[in-house]
Amino acid sequence: MTTTAPTKAPVADARALGLAHYAARGVLEHVLARHGSTFQQQVALRAALTADAPQAPDDLVAQVQGSLKADPADIRATVDELLAKRLLDTDGARLRPTEAGRELLATVGAESAPISARIRGGIPAEDLAAAGRVLALVTERANAELAALTA
């Protein structure tokens, strides 16, 4: 009787998490590029779109900075790009997505949905749920460590 050694499951270490992030981001950036948009623009526009009310520019910058850990000056430049492209507009001292901004996100979402379905296809729901819990915990802990480092 022959036996095979059990296959060691990959560990969700920083490298594996980073590779997964950049692979998925690469797919999204390819879709965004077809529309003349960038990843950071998409994140900022989505943050404006999902806000309960129009946000002050500094609040939007802070929200995006919290997500991307990017330089606030770069995020302000991204907000300016979205205003120049008329994907964001001002509502007094606040920012709100325009109809063109909403349409862009809807189009990108529609184009990327079948790709995302193929990427996740065949992965059991309980595995996706477990991965989601792990990623949320890693994000929470990494944010806490970053806060301690920058305090």
Q: pTM of the entire structure? A: 0.88
pLDDT at 3: 58
Instruction: Report the chain's mean pLDDT, rounded to a whole number.
Output: 94
Please give the residue range of the domain that contains residue 109: 30-120
47 within domain boundaries: yes
Checking if the pLDDT of 2 tops 70, the result is no
Helix (H, G, I), strand (E, B) or coil at 88: strand
CATH (domain of 78)? 1.10.10.10
pLDDT score at 6: 61
Please state, in angstroms and rounded to a whole number, the distance separating the CA atoms of residues 89 and 101: 9
pLDDT band at 12 (very low <50, low <70, confident <90, very high): confident
Are 128 and 114 members of one domain? no
Asked if 42 and 105 touch (Cβ cutoff 8 Å), the reply is yes
CA–CA distances in Å: residue 82 to residues 43, 86, 87, 133:
11, 6, 5, 33
- Name the band, by pLDDT with cuts 50, 70 and 90, for residue 10: confident
Which tens digits make up the pLDDT trace of 24-71?
999 999 999 999 999 999 999 999 999 999 999 999 999 999 999 999
- What pLDDT digit, counting tens, does each position of 90-100 carry? 989 999 999 99
123-141 residue pLDDT tens: 999 999 999 999 999 999 9
Cα–Cα distances in angstroms (integers) from residue 38 to residues 34, 47, 69, 93, 120, in the given order: 10, 14, 16, 25, 23
Residues 36, 96, single domain; the answer is: yes
Question: Do residues 130 and 93 both lie within one domain?
Answer: no
Whether 14 maps to a domain, the answer reads no
| pLDDT confidence of residue 8 | 79
pLDDT level of residue 11 (50, 70, 90 thresholds): confident
Helix, strand, coil % over all residues of the chain, rounded to 5: 70, 5, 25
Beta strands in 29-142 (DSSP E): 88-91, 94-97
Does residue 15 lie in a domain region?
no
Task: Return the SS3 of 97.
Answer: strand
Residue range 82-92: mean pLDDT, rounded: 96
- For residues 12 and 145, give the distance between their C-alpha atoms in angstroms, rounded to a whole number: 18
